[in-house]
Structure 1
Amino acid sequence: MRQRRLMNQINVVPYIDVMLVLLVIFMVTAPMIQSGSVNLPSVDKVPAPPTDAMIVTVKPDGGLTLRTTSQATEKPFNRRDLIGEVQAAVSANPGQSVVIAADKSVKYEQVMNILNDLRNAGVNKVGLQTKVGAAAR
């Protein structure tokens, strides 16, 4: 009687079948996964910023402007000069408040970087300006 030779190869057909089933499952469920968009809340009633607050505006293109008083015009600054200007105002008046007004399309990271720079410059009163009466859609 002749002995059978041992098979020395792995049968990969079952593995391919399992992988194809998993691929189909992922292809079917992928469109059902919700995107990572965040709908930020809007506010109806917000206290007005102090009249003596300095207003830092972050433009959609990343440009920065500073308005020192409510009657002054906005002056464009780069980031380092803006922080120096605000730091000089805070050293003259430690209670100086600063409001950051950013365009809706500005990345959150840019606003947080400006906020962090102002905190590091010694500004204790920093606020974020919001749009009053904007209803969430």
Structure 2
Amino acid sequence: MAETSLRSRRRRTKNEINMVPFIDVMLVLLIIFMVSAPLMPTGVVDLPSIGKARQAPDKVIEVVLGKDDALTMSIDKAAPVAIDLASLAERVKDEQERAAGGPDNAPVIISARKDVRYDAVVQVMDRLQRGGVKRVGLAVRTTGG
């Protein structure tokens, strides 16, 4: 009986997964991806260009975001006036009515410095939208072409 128990122990199969073939396949796939990655074409983003406006507006209200999210407002490149975010929509609506002879006629252009957080620009746009200001645009930097 002692012999049968020794034989049965020797003949038992191991119930383990052999990981070596899996690792070999993964390494081959890694090498294939590393070789083919530089050969893949990079995507090109075609940004829209600005066109010419049909007719230049008579009066333009410009809201400028400066350093430390400081807001200034100017009409037709006049001297900028400091303004706070809470009263922004009211002041812009008043200036629209005064500048263009009626509400919603004078466009509002938002421009910001390069170092201003995007969140601050969104807050200004949101405040103007909630205040009922229409014709809001963002200033763009034109290139020489």
Bin the TM-score by the shorter chain. Answer: 0.5 to 0.7
What is the match of residue 94 of structure 1?
103
Name whichever structure is richer in helix by fraction: 2
| Residues 78 and 50 (structure 1), Cα distance of their counterparts in 2 relative to 1, 3 Å cut | same
Structure 1 residue ranges without an equivalent (≥5) = none
Shift, 1:12, TM fit = 0.5
Contact 1:44 1:134 in 2 (8 A): no
Letter in 1 for 2:32: I
Note if 1:72 corresponds to 2:82: no
Give the structure-1-normalised TM-score.
0.64
Contact 1:54 1:97 in 2 (8 A): yes
Shift, 1:125, TM fit = 2.1
- The superposition leaves residues 91-119 of structure 1 with CA deviations (integer Å, 9 ceiling, x where unpaired) of 77523431223456766655444323211
Contact 1:98 1:127 in 2 (8 A): yes
Give the structure-2-normalised TM-score.
0.62
Amino-acid identity (%)? 38
Structure 2 residue ranges without an equivalent (≥5) = none
Q: Which has the higher contact order (CA 8 A, sep 6+)?
A: 1
Bigger Rg, which one: 2
| Residues 90 and 134 (structure 1), Cα distance of their counterparts in 2 relative to 1, 3 Å cut | same
- The superposition leaves residues 64-111 of structure 1 with CA deviations (integer Å, 9 ceiling, x where unpaired) of 3211x2252113444334334324445775234312234567666554
Distance 2:14 2:114 in 1: 66
Distance 1:110 1:25 in 2: 45
What is the match of residue 42 of structure 2?
34
